[in-house]
Amino acid sequence: PPWPFRPAVMLLSAAASPSALFARAPTMADAMPPRARAPTMDATSSARGELCSVLLMDDGFNMREYVARVLMMVCELSESEADRLMMQAHWEYSSVVGTWERPVAQHICDGLKQAGLHAAIQPESAIQTDSQDPDEPS
């Protein structure tokens, strides 16, 4: 499984002291990256930075429920939106999680990677250019 669970037999046999027997069992929350605040804009950065999209790629390893739960925790998405993005990444091999200014997008991408998902950042201008029809005038 993608989280650090161990059978109770292993925990008991590996205990070096009696106090280790009463240690808290790991939960799914232990596998999630800690929630931190998104980076704030400082005086040196511009008011409007470059917009970047966070892409989620299908890895074929993590369970669908885990991916949806990570999207809910890291990106603060609703359950239905997380399920939709997870299924889109599964069927189309990638999905756009959202578009933010570069520091926020980097923070979210790092959170997804910490949880073991495959994520990347792409400038919004590159995504808009790729999605335009070459025969259609700009």
- Between helix 64-75 and helix 79-92 the angle, nearest 10°, is 130
Higher pLDDT, 116 or 28: 116
Instruction: With cut-offs at 50, 70 and 90, classify the pLDDT of residue 47.
Output: very low
Given the structure tokens 């603060």, which residue do they identify? Answer: 76
Question: What is the model's pLDDT at position 45?
Answer: 46
**For 3, which DSSP code?**
S
What's the sign of the alpha-carbon dihedral 34, 71, 56, 137?
Answer: negative
Q: Strand pairing partners for 122?
A: 53
CA distances 136 to 10, 45, 82, Å, are 63, 36, 33
Q: Give every CB contact of residue 120 below 8 A, 6+ residues apart in sequence.
A: 54, 55, 57, 109
Summarised one tens digit per residue, pLDDT across range 64-123 is: 899 999 999 999 999 999 999 999 999 999 999 999 999 999 999 999 999 999 999 998
Question: What is the model's pLDDT at position 74?
Answer: 92
